[in-house]
Amino acid sequence: MPHRSVTIPQLHQWKGQGRLITMLTAWDYLLAKLLDRAGIDVILVGDSLGMVALGYDTTLPVTLDQMVHHAQAVRRGVESALLVCDLPFLSYHASPQQALGSAGRLLKEAGVQAVKMEGATPGVLAATELLVQSGIPVLGHVGLTPQMIHSFGSLRQQGKTPETAEKILAGAIALERAGAFGIILEHIPASLAQTISQKLQIPTIGIGAGHDCDGQVLVTADLLGLTTQPPPFAPIYAELGGAIATAVQAYCQDVQQRKFSPLT
């Protein structure tokens, strides 16, 4: 894989050229290095790490300190991919100034190149404008936004009625106007994702949003078969959970039978 550093202007160029963007999540050094070496375009330190790496039921308990800690580890493993990090729940909702302080920590202390915020409320749009004006690129996220789980009531598909679809489209357009460099479209109908992708100049990156986005993202633990309950839209490319169990059982058996001796 030739060495290259992925930049935000390149993502915009790729949209024009029809070259699709690949994005995956990472939460530690080892995984980040594997993804980067495999040639992924964008690595997201997603707050889904709260569920896949920290064992929480939702993303809500994740703190900014935890995101900084994980992003620092991921940064050490990434050479080429563009590195984006989630702002966790309530680290950007109080005011644009709070968002600036939180995002600033991720850039200064962890070396990420952009941040992601969920939703398109007036508060998030104002925060997006301030961050972008301050030199902090922002990735938007509309559709199913897991930090709103208690308002949605579940992690079900969003945008199924004409009214909710219109609201998601309007949110995506507003985020583009506020200066977002791209937008995640999560768990919305494929036809809505296609409409949004056609209307926006900036790239859309889908997760459970059909094939017509400008790129795709997945939670890497789902892709690798490491999660017990992956979302219905997540394809599984490897069964590493089963492979790890088999390896550990073989090791335990060897130890019990005195077959395992690392020094001989």
Q: Which residues are annotated as a binding site for Mg(2+)?
A: 47, 86, 118
Calculate ∠ Cα 45-150-46, nearest 5°: 5
Q: Given 3-state DSSP classes, what are the helix, strand and coil percentages for the chain, each rounded to the nearest 5?
A: 45, 15, 40
Catalytic, out of 79, 166, 176, 186: 186
Residues with Cβ within 8 Å of 174's Cβ and at least 6 positions away in sequence, in order, are: 120, 125
Q: In terms of CB distance, is 124 or 207 closer to ligand KIV?
A: 207
| Residues of this chain, 23-42, that bind ligand KIV according to CB under 6 A | 25
Cα 82–chain centre separation: 12
**Structure-block tokens of residue 238:** 């490897």
- Closest by alpha carbon to 21, among 249, 164, 213? 213
| Minimal distance, residue 139 CB to ligand KIV, in Å | 9
Rounded Cα distance, 34 and 204, in Å: 25
Which one among 217, 221, 224, 226 touches ligand KIV, defined by CB under 6 A?
217
Q: In terms of CB distance, is 162 or 235 closer to ligand KIV?
A: 235
Nearest residue to ligand KIV by CB is 46
79 among known catalytic residues: no
Which one among 36, 47, 176, 222 touches ligand KIV, defined by CB under 6 A?
47
Q: Which residue has the tokens 């069964």?
A: 239
What CA dihedral angle connects 120, 123, 128 and 133, to 10 degrees? 150
Asked if 46 touches ligand KIV (CB under 6 A), the answer is yes
Annotated binding-site ranges for 3-methyl-2-oxobutanoate? 47-48, 86, 116
Asked if 207 touches ligand KIV (CB under 6 A), the answer is yes
| Residues of this chain, 85-124, that bind ligand KIV according to CB under 6 A | 86
| Minimal distance, residue 255 CB to ligand KIV, in Å | 36
Q: Which residue has the tokens 């790890």?
A: 244
Asked if 222 touches ligand KIV (CB under 6 A), the answer is no
Rounded Cα distance, 87 and 68, in Å: 10
Contact residues for ligand KIV, defined by CB under 6 A: 25, 44, 46-48, 86, 184, 207, 217, 219
Active-site residues, by number, are: 186
